[in-house]
Amino acid sequence: MSPRDDTASTSRERLQPSRGLTLAYFHRFVNDHGGRQAFDGLTTLDVCMRFVKPATQHANVSLVDLVLSQPEGHQFAKPAEWLISHSWSYKFLDVVEAIDNFCLEHDLSHDTSFWFCMFANNQHAIGDSRGMFKQWLEAFRTALVDTGKLVMVLSPWHHPETLQRSWCVYEVYLSVVLHARFEVALSKSQMDDFLVDVQTTHSIDQMKAQINSKHSIATVATDRDHIFDLISEQVGFVQLDRMVFDVLQTWVFRTLDKQVAMAHSPQARFTWIFTRSVLLLNDRQYEKAEAGFEAAVAIFEQELDESYAPGWEAKLYIGTTKVRQFCAREVWEPIFDSAFPKLEQLLGATNSTTLYMKRRIAGAYYMSNDCTRCLAMMREMLDVKLQLPEDNELFSVMFAYGTTLLQLNEKKEAETWLLKAHAGLCRHLGATHRDTLLCLGNLAVAYVETGRYSEALPLLAEIYEESVRMHGATNVESVSDLMSYAGVLVYLGRCDDAVAHLLACVDHFERMNSPTWILRSKHLLGRVHLTKCDLNQAAASLGSVYTNMFALSGPHSDTCRFALYEWHFATMELERGYDCLAKVDDFMLKFHAADVAGETWAFGVCHMCYKEFQGDIAFCTTCTPYSTKFCTACVASASFEAVCGHHRGPWKVVKPPMRYLLERKLILLANAGRWDDYASIADQYRAYCDQFQVQDPMQVLQARDETTRHRTRSWTVLGALLVIVVLTRRKC
């Protein structure tokens, strides 16, 4: 709305309900003033100046009051049932068309009465707009209290002017605080555009990316400030946008359901079922999406020609839904192998649909941990797309390519591609589009995995805020984004803030009955205890996470392995951590089960060279414990520069767990005087060092606990002889 939305006639008694005009009168008004031809191209503001003000000037009243004063006016001027939210820049005939469509959609008659500001407000009572702010607020509030229902006209449908105007945002705000019903309406031309656009992949997400009520504007700047203060104090912009998204989501699916019901030809039925299923897939409703694609494929196989390319596309989407539901590779791979060659044959290798589905297939291999195959497919697509005109799909391929490189520990190259992809997606899809935010999230992951936590944190904060706005604070995507943000807070040492967020995450995930996400959140809480050197609690928490994640997903999941490593770190630091052979043996079995019983770590990469750790890790002790880590080769190099800025450490050097545990076992056996067992473990240790080419491995074999030195001479001699034997064997 604009400042022309004046207060309703002050002569009207408040005891009477707000009055509007029927849809029938809207049409009569057009006919009385020259018909559609006379209104062609006129905005609502033009109509006000050309027709409404001259007609009401003599009586100095609103058009509603003027109509009511005429014979039989009560047939048209009635208590309002709906409030129309619109922009004064809209074409007036588009508004009327939109209300026509709305009434048809909701089975409302032309006798339905609408409160329309141009008709309901006295257009001659406008004074200083800055002084009338409260009156305007009250006028809208009164009308919405009386009607209890608001319909917003969207034009253009994908970037509506109404949601860019602060007064319209105020009306949405009122509908929230007054618990009013909120609906949307489109003109015929906008509905036609929607029905075409909705069949493209990104249309709905692009529309959502355009909607942001806190970016709305007003002709009078102070109006915007006052409205924003009201919204911030009582509702917040996120809740406003959430309601708009929910209404739009409901409307989109309702519209598509009607298209399915009205479709008579097989191709039309296929098209709308297929389109609806794609939206369900994008909304992560995988089971419903799969059922929809199955229905579309049934139409394709029974009623359409084999050369109908969308039919093969639907088959590929069935495979995609199975991937998203974590079905085994042998379930979805045959679908791709049979359907994709047909699609490629019909459309060509460089067709946009062909390339898009190929990217989907590559993503399936990524999700099944076959990143090598995924990368090869992505590289092929990237080479093709770089030869074609630039579009958003080029940058989506770059995004996927960079993500795969990231998974393969090619961190530097991954970051380069992700930066390019993010910039391109911002240009083509917008900064708040879902794909753009996903790319930004993976860029944040690249920063986290290379120790650049301060760079990652603002990106993750932005992603979380947008996720809440798009999906709501309790949506699984939003909560997982909050968990990621909290995880970086832990690395930065902001443990109190992290704990508050993580406890909220655990609560939300428990309500969702999502055990994997619960354990991931609890793992980070265990990391908090390790960070704060609360070692007993850290060991208990991380041990519990490991045990439960092992039972849920097996020993090879990232969460299981990381929890095991950090449980081991806490146990190492405890005064009586590894004080008995049983505990050492237990952890050795656990590291064997996790397939990390050698010198290679599954604990991230060096924060300088970005390579997997082989051998000892040097942790920066100036930083948050166990957060910033380097390989000893980098630390020893003359050109070493720590990402954290602490180039000279000091460092805490930690050996690979299996080597540490073997050495610890030797010490415990020596302290216990169990020399036969000592000799056996010494052989194991020697074989381990030979296998993994450990430098200077003998020191532990020559070491003795202080208590050993006070044992009897016979034990000392025997121990010395054993060392000689071991050393001799080593030389052999």
What is d(CA 443, CA 398) in angstroms, rounded to the nearest whole number? 12
Most confident of 8-12, 103-107, 131-135: 103-107
What is d(CA 478, CA 213) in angstroms, rounded to the nearest whole number? 19
pLDDT in tens, 580-622: 999 999 999 999 999 999 999 999 999 999 999 999 999 999 9
Whether pLDDT at 703 is above 80: no
Mean pLDDT of 665-680: 95
What is d(CA 286, CA 283) in angstroms, rounded to the nearest whole number? 8
CB count within 10 Å of CB 126 equals 14
What is d(CA 398, CA 417) in angstroms, rounded to the nearest whole number? 6
More confident residue, 82 or 718: 82
**Of 221, 225, 223, 197, which is closest to residue 210 (Cα–Cα)?**
197
Mean pLDDT of 232-257: 89
Sheet containing strand 19-22, strands side by side = 77-79, 19-22, 113-115, 82-85, 149-153, 181-185
Most confident of 29-38, 239-248, 638-647: 29-38
Mean pLDDT of 521-540: 98
* 708 — pLDDT class (breaks 50, 70, 90): very low
Strand 617-620 vs strand 612-614: parallel, antiparallel, or unpaired?
unpaired
pLDDT in tens, 323-353: 999 999 999 999 999 999 999 999 999 999 9
| Segments of 621-728 assigned E as strands | 629-631, 651-654
Tokens (6 digits) for 344: 């490629």
State what percent of residues in the chain have pLDDT above 90: 77
DSSP character at residue 408: T
What pLDDT does 219 receive?
A: 81
What pLDDT does 127 receive?
A: 60
Distances, alpha carbon 273 to alpha carbons 190, 266, 308, 432, 685, in Å? 21, 11, 15, 28, 64
Whether pLDDT at 435 is above 80: yes
What is d(CA 341, CA 357) in angstroms, rounded to the nearest whole number? 11
What is d(CA 385, CA 395) in angstroms, rounded to the nearest whole number? 9
Query: 502 with 529: CB under 8 angstroms?
Result: no
pLDDT in tens, 138-192: 888 999 999 999 999 999 988 888 888 998 898 888 998 899 999 999 999 999 9
* H/E segment holding residue 533: none
More confident residue, 691 or 204: 691
Angle at 209 between CA 203 and CA 210, to 5 degrees: 95
Cross-strand pairs, 8: 121
State what percent of residues in the chain have pLDDT above 70: 92
Residues 6+ apart with CB under 8 A from 326: none
Whether pLDDT at 719 is above 50: no
Residues 6+ apart with CB under 8 A from 689: 659, 697
Which ranges in 494-534 belong to alpha helices (H)? 495-512, 515-531
Which long-range contacts does 206-209 make (Cβ < 8 Å, 24+ apart)?
206/158, 206/429, 206/430, 206/433, 207/157, 207/158, 207/159, 207/248, 208/245, 208/248, 208/432, 208/433, 208/434, 208/470, 209/429, 209/430, 209/431, 209/432, 209/433, 209/434, 209/436
What pLDDT does 131 receive?
A: 58
What pLDDT does 88 receive?
A: 93
Q: How many residues does the chain have?
A: 732
Domains of the chain: which residue ranges?
A: 19-232, 600-713
Query: 603 with 582: CB under 8 angstroms?
Result: no
What is d(CA 430, CA 427) in angstroms, rounded to the nearest whole number? 6
Tokens (6 digits) for 265: 């030809």
Lowest model confidence (mean pLDDT) among 73-82, 102-111, 195-204: 195-204
What pLDDT does 355 receive?
A: 95
What pLDDT does 697 receive?
A: 67
Mean pLDDT of the chain: 90
Lowest model confidence (mean pLDDT) among 19-33, 226-240, 259-273, 535-549: 226-240
pLDDT in tens, 542-564: 999 999 999 999 999 999 999 99
pLDDT in tens, 486-530: 999 999 999 999 999 999 999 999 999 999 999 999 999 999 999
The distance between the two most distant Cα atoms of the chain, rounded to a whole number of Å, is: 125
For 644, phi and psi rounded to 5 degrees?
Answer: -85, -10
What pLDDT does 148 receive?
A: 96
- The single residue listed with the structure tokens 């009051």 is 65
Residues 6+ apart with CB under 8 A from 398: 382, 417, 418, 420, 421, 424
Angle at 140 between CA 138 and CA 144, to 5 degrees: 115
Query: 417 with 402: CB under 8 angstroms?
Result: yes
Q: What is the 3-state secondary structure (H, E, C) of 42-111?
A: CEHHHHHHHHHHHHHCCCCCCHHHHHHHCCCHHHCEEECCEEEECCCCCEHHHHHHHHHHHHHHCCCCCC
What pLDDT does 10 receive?
A: 41
Lowest model confidence (mean pLDDT) among 38-47, 79-88, 232-241, 529-538: 232-241
More confident residue, 497 or 649: 497
* H/E segment holding residue 367: helix 352-367
What is d(CA 713, CA 718) in angstroms, rounded to the nearest whole number? 8
In whole angstroms, how large is the CA radius of gyration of the chain?
34
What pLDDT does 130 receive?
A: 57
User: Residues 648-664, buried b or exposed e (16+ Cβ, 10 A)?
Assistant: ebebeebbbbbbbbbbb
Query: 222 with 130: CB under 8 angstroms?
Result: yes
Tokens (6 digits) for 508: 């939300």
Whether pLDDT at 702 is above 60: no
* 6 — pLDDT class (breaks 50, 70, 90): very low
**Of 174, 175, 191, which is closest to residue 183 (Cα–Cα)?**
175
Lowest model confidence (mean pLDDT) among 16-30, 369-383, 636-650: 636-650
Cross-strand pairs, 183: 151
Tokens (6 digits) for 539: 């060991």
* 3-class SS of residue 611: coil
Whether pLDDT at 21 is above 50: yes
Residue type at position 444: A
What is d(CA 294, CA 305) in angstroms, rounded to the nearest whole number? 17
**Of 627, 280, 331, which is closest to residue 453 (Cα–Cα)?**
627
Residues 6+ apart with CB under 8 A from 597: 588, 591, 657, 658
* 699 — pLDDT class (breaks 50, 70, 90): low
Tokens (6 digits) for 210: 């355009």
What pLDDT does 633 receive?
A: 93
Whether pLDDT at 12 is above 70: no
**Of 406, 314, 421, 329, which is closest to residue 367 (Cα–Cα)?**
329
Chain mean position to CA 112 = 41
DSSP character at residue 6: P
Angle between helices 392-407 and 371-385 (to 10 degrees): 150
DSSP character at residue 728: H
The model carries a pTM of 0.84
Whether pLDDT at 208 is above 90: no
More confident residue, 188 or 568: 568
